[in-house]
């Protein structure tokens, strides 16, 4: 029971393994969720109009070079999002490792 109380009082932190699992779920889950939202939106008439008539008109107006630029920018934004997700978890893991090292030093220094 004390371990549960320590967890809720933030005296015990979540395991690094839990953080790694949450990272993997988010790194894989975010693109899958975005794809799911895309498919869900396909049920609505306005979305179908945007993908059909409006997309055809945009293809006639927007040159292929700018469409390619848009796709490249989208891919870069996606990669940056994944990189930021990774860096956020690296910072959390580094913080937990520093905290553990400082606690070890504080308890180790008191024993001498």
**Count of C-beta atoms within a 10 Å radius of residue 50:** 13
Contact 19, 88 (CB under 8 A): no
Q: Indicate the pTM of the whole model.
A: 0.70
Residue range 16-72, pLDDT digits in tens? 888 999 999 999 999 999 999 988 888 888 877 877 888 888 888 889 899 899 999
């Amino acid at each position: 029971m004390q371990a549960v109380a320590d967890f809720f009082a933030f005296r015990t932190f979540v395991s690094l393994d839990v953080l790694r699992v949450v990272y993997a779920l988010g790194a894989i889950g975010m693109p899958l969720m975005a794809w799911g939202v895309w498919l869900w939106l396909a049920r609505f008439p306005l979305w179908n109009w945007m993908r059909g008539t409006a997309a055809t008109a945009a293809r006639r107006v927007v040159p292929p070079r700018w469409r390619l630029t848009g796709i490249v920018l989208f891919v870069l934004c996606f990669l940056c999002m994944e990189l930021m997700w990774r860096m956020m978890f690296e910072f959390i893991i580094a913080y937990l490792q520093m905290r553990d090292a400082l606690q070890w030093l504080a308890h180790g220094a008191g024993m001498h």
